[in-house]
Amino acid sequence: MVNKNNELPQIRVSNESVTPLYMAALHGRRNMVSYLYSVTPFEDLTPPERIDILVVCISTDLYDIALKILKRDPELATMKNAYGKIALQELAKKPDAIGSRSQLSIWERCVNFWPFKGIYKKALMRTIAHQLVDLLWVNVRQLPEKDFSDMVQNHSSFLFDAAISGNVEFLIILIRSYPDLIWSLDEKKRSIFHFAIIYRQESVFSLIYELGAIKDIIALYTDNHHNNMLHLAAEIAPPDRLNIISGAALKLQRELLWFKEIDKIVQPSYRKKKNIDENNKTLDTPWELFTKTHQNLCKEGEKWMKDTANYGMLVAALIATVVFAAAFTVPGGNDQKLGTPILLSGKWFMAFFISDAIALLSSSTSILTFLSILTSRYAEKDFLLSLPARLLLGLATLFISIASMVIAFSATCFLVYDSEITSVPIIITILAAIPVTLFLTLHYRLWADIFRSTYVYRFLFRPRERRVF
């Protein structure tokens, strides 16, 4: 009975001819994989079965099991699975899995208790994934020079897959050990930095600023159709990268930021260079290509900006009308002889008058700001700074006017009813805070996106620290 049970983990599934360990890993069953790995005689598995199990563990984020398998059989690092892929190619497509360190930080170790167990496990898996990449690459580097060159050349897609997916930690680990990887090109003569531009991966592209004078050499590269880096930045971003930004105007702004950044590093003559098509026909300069590919996005951005400005201006105009009238129909009325407000000496009167004045001035500013947006020329470069900054100012002054109007209303309640019914003004003031809070909550995401796109993302391409060399 014991011998029979020991053979159970080696029974192949009839339809797929795979082991139970492979099937458990394929479905991501961590506990079952851990158990089956402990009872499966790994040495009795064929090399193709071993590499398939290693790759599928990586695919389903079972990095701890994958690391154990690799330590047990280091030759799997250079072995191809049934689809002709090596393990590094699978890890290259997982940008969120690999941490920046191979060991947990002190803080991450300290959170290893129940309330923060999820944070700890995530940090631990990222650390293990880092160790896994390290070990895989060390074993690949130990190949003879010719075999290593052939491996990199034949499976160089792991470099470009990492650049496409924004897997910067993966690239840093490899380039630190073998800096010559930065010169690797695909069949169209594009480097990892060209792919970073095409797929708008700023974290990968920012590594180019650590290369010193080498940066200027890489910036000279052109592909088979004479596209330089600026041409690639002029092409519209892939939908999955473009859709992470809210609002067509902000999407166009991000595209302009990319174009402006690449314009800084290419040779001045490249700004006027034209690319060619398959028939060697001359086509466009980078800016001509940008205008052509972003034409629809520019129209959508103009419509989005005008709609937002129209709605904001309508609300601001209503507030301005109300608070202007309130300034001349003050609570309690005016003295018939002197014409001064009867409640002028009340402690809440000054709060009412100041907040009413602020509401009027801020709503008027908001109206003028939104009006300037509606009358803008809407050229592509206006979306870089001018239009988003105006929209941010318009929304901010609109919020101030709403808050000031509510304060003026609350002050009026205290001014008129405080001496008679003390609890009523307090309750009304608390309820009056609801629309202000609601407006802030509903529009916070839009404000944050505009602010980040206009002022924060200008530093998006500059590395905060040197991480490669």
pLDDT in tens, 408-442: 888 877 776 655 666 666 777 778 788 888 888 88
Q: Which residues contact 420 (CB under 8 A, 6 or more apart)?
A: none
Q: How far is CA 60 from CA 53, 92, 132, 259, in A?
A: 11, 14, 14, 37
Q: Which two tokens stand for residue 264?
A: 């800084």
Each residue of 355-407: pLDDT tens digit? 989 999 999 999 999 999 999 989 888 999 899 999 999 999 999 999 999 88
| Residue 83 phi, psi (nearest 5) | -100, 10
As to burial, measured by CB atoms within 10 angstroms (0-12 exposed, 13-18 middle, 19+ buried), residue 46 is: exposed
How does 246-262 read in b/e, with b if 16+ C-beta sit within 10 Å?
ebbbbbbbbbbbbbebb
Beta bridge pairs of residue 86 = none
pLDDT score for 319? 93
Beta bridge pairs of residue 276 = 282
Look up residue 448 and give its amino acid: A
Residue 56 CB neighbours (<10 A): 24
DSSP state of 169: H
Interatomic CA distance for residues 203 and 210, integer angstroms: 12
Interatomic CA distance for residues 468 and 175, integer angstroms: 7
Q: Which two tokens stand for residue 346?
A: 């009340």
Q: Which residues contact 14 (CB under 8 A, 6 or more apart)?
A: none
Any alpha helices (H) in 73-156, and if so which ranges?
87-91, 106-110, 117-141, 145-154
Interatomic CA distance for residues 200 and 146, integer angstroms: 34
pLDDT score for 40? 86
Interatomic CA distance for residues 374 and 58, integer angstroms: 52
- In tens digits, the chain (469 residues) has pLDDT values of 344 556 777 777 656 678 889 989 999 899 999 998 888 888 888 898 899 999 999 999 999 999 999 999 999 999 988 888 889 999 999 988 888 777 776 666 666 665 666 676 788 888 999 999 999 999 999 988 888 888 887 777 889 999 999 999 999 999 988 888 899 888 888 999 999 999 999 989 999 988 888 889 999 999 888 999 999 999 999 999 998 888 899 999 999 999 999 999 999 999 999 998 887 888 899 999 999 999 999 999 999 999 999 999 999 999 999 988 887 776 555 555 554 555 555 566 778 888 989 999 999 999 999 999 999 989 888 999 899 999 999 999 999 999 999 888 888 777 766 556 666 667 777 787 888 888 888 888 888 888 888 887 777 777 667 777 6
Delimiting residues of CATH 1.20.140 domain(s) in the chain: 302-459
Q: Which two tokens stand for residue 171?
A: 């690239």
Angle made by CA atoms 70, 72, 73, in degrees to the nearest 5: 65
- Say which residue the tokens 């290509």 belong to: 289
Q: Which residues contact 303 (CB under 8 A, 6 or more apart)?
A: 248
Classify domain 302-459 at the CATH topology level. Butyryl-CoA Dehydrogenase, subunit A; domain 3 (1.20.140)
Picking from 458, 468, 334, 330, the residue whose alpha carbon sits closest to that of residue 385 is: 458
Picking from 97, 99, 80, the residue whose alpha carbon sits closest to that of residue 89 is: 80
Picking from 179, 129, 188, the residue whose alpha carbon sits closest to that of residue 152 is: 179
Each residue of 281-301: pLDDT tens digit? 888 999 999 999 999 999 999
pLDDT score for 115? 64
CB distance 200 to 258 below 8 Å: yes
How does 10-25 read in b/e, with b if 16+ C-beta sit within 10 Å?
eeeeeeeebbbbbbbb
Q: What is the DSSP string of 367-396?
A: HHHHHHHHT----GGGGTTHHHHHHHHHHH
pLDDT score for 109? 66
Cα R_g (the chain), whole angstroms? 31
Mean pLDDT of the chain: 85
Q: Number of helices (H) and strands (E), helices first, in the chain?
A: 22, 0
Beta bridge pairs of residue 334 = 341
